[in-house]
């Protein structure tokens, strides 16, 4: 019998069937970030022990749309774009562990299987969804990255619209936002197949090894922007906000993990 090879499922004799390559993984993409505040108690409900709410601004939330290209160390996926390109939308809060502040992804939707599996391996609670973002372009009718440009983003899952936003670019800014600015604190869980409980559970810290990014833009949310709760995700009160409390940022960046 041959030896099974490959970083992750499905493993095969050659290893090439694996859905994702081994790390390090590299990412390039455009991000649209909506920062807002909600009831701190709604955030606390989503933080399993031993995590605690952040000491400062515990109700702060970032809802982030991202249009990615990713690859392994060889970069071969970039020349086969169906294996490289994907979009996702995720909600991030801040938390505290042993006196240090962390970011934590509490909900995330993605539109490709390889990104789903890679995220679950890293502790991201990924689900499948439909994610779309306006793509700026220097020619034609698409918006440019200039003052007054309007960009939109939508998220749906299981045939239900979960979030939508339209932002108005105001000016370049120095910061990308503060909610998603810390190392991630994530749980990796593997439920037992023959009994209740988990056979593996760990709390991990993760962060990008390298980062380079373009100039972020500050933006305002247009009237009518909404972030909706949906019953398909259980308790989703964290996704409730009003347009008046939204702060939006758009950026492009690249990172390696």
Residue 175 falls within a domain, yes or no?
A: yes
> Residue 257's pLDDT is what?
58
Q: What is the pLDDT along the chain (257 residues), one digit of tens a residue?
A: 778 999 999 999 999 999 999 999 999 999 999 999 999 999 999 999 999 999 999 999 999 999 999 999 999 999 999 999 999 999 999 999 999 999 999 999 999 999 999 999 999 999 999 999 999 999 999 999 999 999 999 999 999 999 999 999 999 998 888 999 999 999 999 999 999 999 989 999 998 888 888 899 999 886 545 555 332 222 222 222 333 333 444 444 445 55
Is residue 22 in a domain? no
Range of the structural domain that residue 72 is part of? 27-227+241-251
pLDDT in the model for residue 140 = 95
Written as six digits, the tokens of 37 are 């505040």
> Is residue 65 one of the residues assigned to a domain?
yes
What is the model's pLDDT at position 230?
A: 35
Closest by CA to 238, choosing from 116, 128, 104, is 104
Would 96 be classed as within a structural domain?
yes
Question: Does residue 106 lie within any of the structural domains?
Answer: yes
The count of C-alpha atoms lying within 13 angstroms of the C-alpha of 256, restricted to the half-sphere facing its C-beta, is 10
Name the domain count of the chain: 1
Q: What is the DSSP string of 178-234?
A: STT-S-EEEEEEEE-SSSSSEEEEEEEEE--SEEEE---EEEEEPTT-EE---GGGS
CB 46 within 8 A of CB 238: yes
Question: What pLDDT shows up at residue 28?
Answer: 93
pLDDT of residue 211: 84
Determine if the pTM surpasses 0.85: yes
Q: Say if 17 falls within a structural domain.
A: no
* CATH number of the domain to which 178 belongs: 2.40.400.10
């Amino acid at each position: 019998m041959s030896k099974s090879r490959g970083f992750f499922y499905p493993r095969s004799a050659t290893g090439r069937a694996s859905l994702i390559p081994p790390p390090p993984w590299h990412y390039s993409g455009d991000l649209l970030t909506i920062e807002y505040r909600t009831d701190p108690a709604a955030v606390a409900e989503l933080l399993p022990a031993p995590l605690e709410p952040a000491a400062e601004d515990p109700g702060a939330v970032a809802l982030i749309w991202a249009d990615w290209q990713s690859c392994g160390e060889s970069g071969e996926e970039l020349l086969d774009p169906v294996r490289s390109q994907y979009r996702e939308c995720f909600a991030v809060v801040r938390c505290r562990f042993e006196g240090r502040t962390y970011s934590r992804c509490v909900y995330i939707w993605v539109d490709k299987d390889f990104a789903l599996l890679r995220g679950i391996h890293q502790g991201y609670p990924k689900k499948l969804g439909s994610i779309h973002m306006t793509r700026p372009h220097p020619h034609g009718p698409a918006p440019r990255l200039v003052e007054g440009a309007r960009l939109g983003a939508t998220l749906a899952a299981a045939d239900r619209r979960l979030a939508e936003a339209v932002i108005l670019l105001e000016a370049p800014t120095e910061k990308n936002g503060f909610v998603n600015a810390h190392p991630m604190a994530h749980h990796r869980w593997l439920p037992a197949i023959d009994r209740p409980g988990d056979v593996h559970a760990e709390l991990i810290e993760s962060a990008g090894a390298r980062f380079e990014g373009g100039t972020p833009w500050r933006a305002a949310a247009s009237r009518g922007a909404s972030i909706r709760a949906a019953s398909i995700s259980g308790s989703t009160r964290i996704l409730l906000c009003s347009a008046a409390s939204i702060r939006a940022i758009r950026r492009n960046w690249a990172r390696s993990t």
